[in-house]
Structure 1
Amino acid sequence: MGIKTKLTLKELNDIFEGYNFISIEATLYGVIDTTYIASTQTDDYIIKKYERDIKDRIETDKKLLEHLKLSGLNVPAFLEEKNGWYIYEKLSGDVPKGTTTAHIQALARLLSDLHRATHKRSFPNPFLESCEVKQSLKYIKSNYYHYFKKFQHLYDFDMPNDGLIHGDIFKDNTVFDENKIGIFDFIDSGYGSFLFDCGVALTGFGVKSTNNYYINLFLNTYNQKAPKKLKKSELINEMELASKFYTLLRIYRNQNINNAKELL
């Protein structure tokens, strides 16, 4: 998916004069907003159209990216907005295909840096606010009752406010330039649990709860500088919770159980 509003190269150049874009490519990732990759002779950019009424979130996102960049994190800069289209810097690197020791260590360092930068800071929105948990459960109860029994405990799911979390660190929200990691798509971030953020990230990189080597490596790296130390048993439980949480959302948003099977 990724494209709900079509945009041609001519239309893009008419909207953003002066860039002289030479190509535009539709993305396949994303299930809510429209995302393109556009190129000039020298640079690549992310072009987005938010297919939701989230003006306040977009303004918060701009300020957050600026704060995280100043904190030394490799996140994209917001550049310009016209006619409902937004241009962001495209980070160097590629989405990882597999998962290696270097990926896990870089992921742990990134989350440690992110959580230090946002710990105890004030943010306007809880992460869970935009996640449609109750709507998802209602849909699954009506259409996939066998799976609903696995997820019904999420009715009461809540999380502490440790600071801002990304909450959706799957591989396609990261890029690697050799061992340097970049992270993007903070539009649905909000305050929440650092433990949950780490559980999602390990799940998003395909780490199973039985992979002691990767889990221990992640914890040893993350806990060196993290504002809150994590315990292995808690992290494993949160990985399993994160897997159920995103399986639930995928079934609801895609209206198709097959798209969620990799997390089941």
Structure 2
Amino acid sequence: MCSDELMGVKTPISLKELNEIFPSYGFTKLMPTSSGIIDTTYIVHTDSTGYILKRYERDIPHKIELDIQLLNQLKSAGLNVPVCLDSKYGWFIYEKLIGKHPINVKSYHIQALARFMAKMHKETSKGKCRSNIILEDEVTESLKYVKANFFGYYKRFEFLKNFTHKHDAIIHGDIFKDNTIFNGKKIGVIDFIDSSCGTFAYDAAVALVGFDARGHHNYFINLFLKNYNQHAPRKLKKSEVIEKMKTAANFFALKRVHEYKNTKRARELLT
């Protein structure tokens, strides 16, 4: 198996070991994923059902607990998210949503995305959220690395040193295409583990960057806002979303330089 295929696996596990940990499932297939560079993710199957198997390679037990609570809350509100079904010895079994990641973004993707995010924000706005210091520390650490190793890029990213969020509520903060699943025109959203306090405008901006809105600029942004503002806890202005899109594109480009140790993946977001 080539190294790219193991990108999503930091802690290997065999099918036999998995069935010893979770004997009631009767797993018949275990497939490593190629997505993700931080946590271990497998797709696992029984004779009739697919699941996602995860192991978090970070010491974040409280964050995992909050993630599970958030997923349950959103699921109860009728949103298509994968709840945690079981956990043992650091391994977590999640629902596997039916569908596939979008490739070529169409209008119905943007409409479904906007409606999902509006309903999610309406739900998370019911509760309080805490400081965003972890995310701000991540920016500081990434800037330090890029300054030492990719100084030309550091000058571009330097403005992010004042990166902070006002705290509207909990946001996903990472809704790129590979964190969404479409079954026809029905959207599901996955990977909430790094959700944090933030602004709804920034969350929308990240999603629009992730869904190629810059290539269709006004049309996709207008379509998103038309659908989002019909259901959201507060309406977003186009000007604030466009401003946040610049921040979002540079933030994720910075993360890619830091995490992948090169600039190829970053340039995709900076063009």
TM-score w.r.t. length of structure 2: 0.94
Q: What is the percentage of aligned positions where both structures have the same residue?
A: 50
RMSD: 1.4
Aligned equivalents of 2:43, 2:17: Cα separation in 1: 14
| Deviation (angstroms), 1:230 | 1.0
1:208 lines up with 2:214 in the alignment: yes
Partner of residue 49 from structure 1, selected from 33, 55, 67: 55
Q: In the aligned structure 2, how far is the partner of 1:32 from the partner of 1:130?
A: 18
Partner of 2:3: none
- Tell me how many residue pairs correspond in the alignment: 264
Specify whether residues 193 and 216 from structure 1 end up closer, same or farther in structure 2 by C-alpha distance, changes over 3 A only: same
Counterpart of 1:86 in 2: which secondary structure? Answer: strand
On the 8 A contact 1:127/1:188 being kept in 2, the answer is no
Distance 1:22 1:114 in 2: 35
* Corresponding residue number in structure 1 for 2:150: 144
- The aligned residue for residue 133 of structure 1 is 139
| 8 Å contact kept, 1:68–1:114 | yes
Checking the alignment, whether the CA contact within 8 Å between 2:129 and 2:167 is kept in structure 1 is no
Q: Given the alignment of the two structures, is residue 240 of structure 1 paired with residue 233 of structure 2, yes or no?
A: no
Pair 1:90–1:127, CA change in 2 (3 A): farther
Equivalent in 114, 117, 129 of residue 108 of structure 1: 114
For structure 2, which runs of at least 5 residues remain unmatched after alignment? 1-6
Q: CA deviation at 1:192?
A: 0.8
Q: Describe the superposition over 1:95-143 as per-residue Cα deviations: whole angstroms up to 9, x where unpaired.
A: 1111000000000001100000011511345385376100110111111
SS at match of 1:91: coil
Select the residue among 69, 72, 81 that pairs with 1:66. 72
Q: Which amino acid aligns with 1:166?
A: H
Query: In the alignment, is the contact (CA less than 8 A) between 1:127 and 1:191 conserved in 2?
Result: no
Alpha carbons of structure 1 residues 187 and 56: separation in structure 2 relative to 1, 3 Å = same
Return closer, same or farther for 1:89/1:125 CA change in 2, 3 Å cut-off. farther
Deviation at 1:209, TM superposition (A): 6.6
Give the corresponding residue for 2:228: 222
Distance in 1 separating the partners of 2:233 and 2:56: 33
Q: Given the alignment of the two structures, is residue 10 of structure 1 paired with residue 16 of structure 2, yes or no?
A: yes
Aligned to 2:190: 184
Preserved CA contact (<8 Å) 2:118 2:232: yes
Aligned-pair distance for 1:200?
0.2
Question: Which one of 127, 130, 139 corresponds to residue 121 of structure 1?
Answer: 127
Q: Partners of 2:15 and 2:121 in 1: how far apart?
A: 39
**TM superposition score normalised by structure 1:** 0.96
2:144 partner amino acid: K
- What SS class does the counterpart of residue 32 from structure 1 fall into? coil
1:98 aligns to 2:104 (yes or no): yes
1:106 touches 1:180 (CA, 8 Å); kept in 2? yes
State how 1:21-40 maps to structure 2 within 5 Å.
Answer: 21-40=27-46
